[in-house]
Amino acid sequence: MRAQWSPHLKQVANPPIVQFKQEIARLLPPHREILDLTQAIPSYLPPAIVRQYLLDELKGKKIFFYTEDQGLLELRKTICEQSEQKNIQIAPDNILVTAGANMAFFIALASILQPGEEVIVPTPYYFNHEMAIRLCHGVPVEVHLRPETGFSLDPELIEKGLSPRTRAIVVVSPNNPTGALYSAQNLHQVYELCRRHGLFLIHDETYEVFDLPDRQHYTLLSRDDWSENLISIHSYSKTFSLTGFRVGYLVCNRELLSELLKIQDTLVICAPHFGQKAALLALHNDPTWLAEKKQLMEKKRQLFHQVCADVNRNFTLLVSGAFFGYVKHLYQTSARAVAMSLAQKAAVTVLPGEFFGTGQESYLRFALGNIEEKQFEELGHRLKKFTMSESSS
């Protein structure tokens, strides 16, 4: 008799980007440059000091060894020191360095969820969060944010989604997939909601350094009482272009962190040593490097605004920020169908809204980091020429 895997996995979606790229591979024009806007990958390399370090360190032995389960103490101290400059008070024992933000999120869920408990996910949501909730035998509860408000965080809608089985609320700001940057007031209101009901607020701050010209990122770690209900998640993938190095961290109270270590040790022991060292070096790097990259991403966002303004006939930009633009298509068909046709006819690949929750069939996510500035003009030309026939829709 053939052994069978757990039927529970059937409740978890396939990795959306992998699945979609496999689906469109046969459609892409073979002799045309592909403008790939599916995944949030920076077009720039990590700081030169990081790249040189790797070349030098590979000649020795230490980089191939484990670090402490919790992460390099020097890295955690540096995080605390730089946080203190922003009036954020955390200690090294509040920090768990993880193999990326997704790992941090999974570990957090595994430590707080009982089977069947619910997690509020404002929709559109980040698909890996929904997948992780189901993997941990939780129940994702969608709360649909309003497009007319730019998908801003709505504490009243979130409160209506609560039930006796609610265990946590997830907030992603700056947001993936929309790019929306939530206000301090709304974040405080949701945190107070968690305090009143004894819930965890998991705040994914992966894109925290990518502010908007008219609004700064706000972290709830600035509250004096953050440790009571907050789990804060961070990543260096986009900040320092370390996507393949898999390094991020989470912040929580010491009691919970001691439990998280059980999960971390079981799954990976520690985050990759070279990723931790790369993050440490990047944190000590000349700050002008990061300032330039923030300016670059803001320039790309502005260029995308111009692209959408020029092709307003078929695509309307609803909100943008960080690495993303969330666009409404005006075709009488699904976002998946539009995205497939874009790949085939225009050699432009984007993700359909269906990957980000129910009711998202009219939207497309454009990830702006992966293409160069000079390619936005070409993107505009292709979107202008793009049409869908009635038969294809």
pLDDT at 252 over 50: yes
Q: How high is the pLDDT of residue 393?
A: 42
| Cα 203 from Cα 335, distance rounded (Å) | 28
The pLDDT tens digits for 48-67 are 989 898 888 878 888 899 99
pLDDT at 158 over 50: yes
The pLDDT tens digits for 101-152 are 999 999 999 999 999 999 999 999 999 999 999 999 999 999 999 999 999 9
**CB-based burial, 358-385: b 16+ in 10 Å, e otherwise:** eebebbbbbbbbbbeeebbebbbebbee
- CATH code for the part of the protein at 7-45+288-384: 3.90.1150.10
Confidence of residue 387 (pLDDT cuts 50, 70, 90): confident
Q: How high is the pLDDT of residue 62?
A: 85
pLDDT at 346 over 70: yes
Domain(s) of CATH 3.40.640.10: residues in the chain: 64-283
Strands 200-204 and 230-235: parallel
Confidence of residue 324 (pLDDT cuts 50, 70, 90): very high
The pLDDT tens digits for 13-50 are 899 999 999 989 888 888 889 999 999 999 999 999 89
pLDDT at 4 over 90: no
Q: How high is the pLDDT of residue 322?
A: 83
Tell me the mean pLDDT in the region 160-175: 97
pLDDT at 391 over 80: no
Domain(s) of CATH 3.90.1150.10: residues in the chain: 7-45+288-384
Calculate the average pLDDT of the chain.
Answer: 94
**The token pair that represents 368 in the structure block:** 């702006």
Q: How high is the pLDDT of residue 389?
A: 66
Among 185-189, 311-315, 323-327, the minimum mean pLDDT is found in 311-315
Altogether, the residues listed in the chain come to a count of 393
User: Percent of the chain beyond pLDDT 70?
Assistant: 98
Higher pLDDT, 319 or 60: 319
Confidence of residue 215 (pLDDT cuts 50, 70, 90): confident
pLDDT at 388 over 90: no
Q: How high is the pLDDT of residue 288?
A: 94
- CATH code for the part of the protein at 64-283: 3.40.640.10
Q: How high is the pLDDT of residue 392?
A: 46
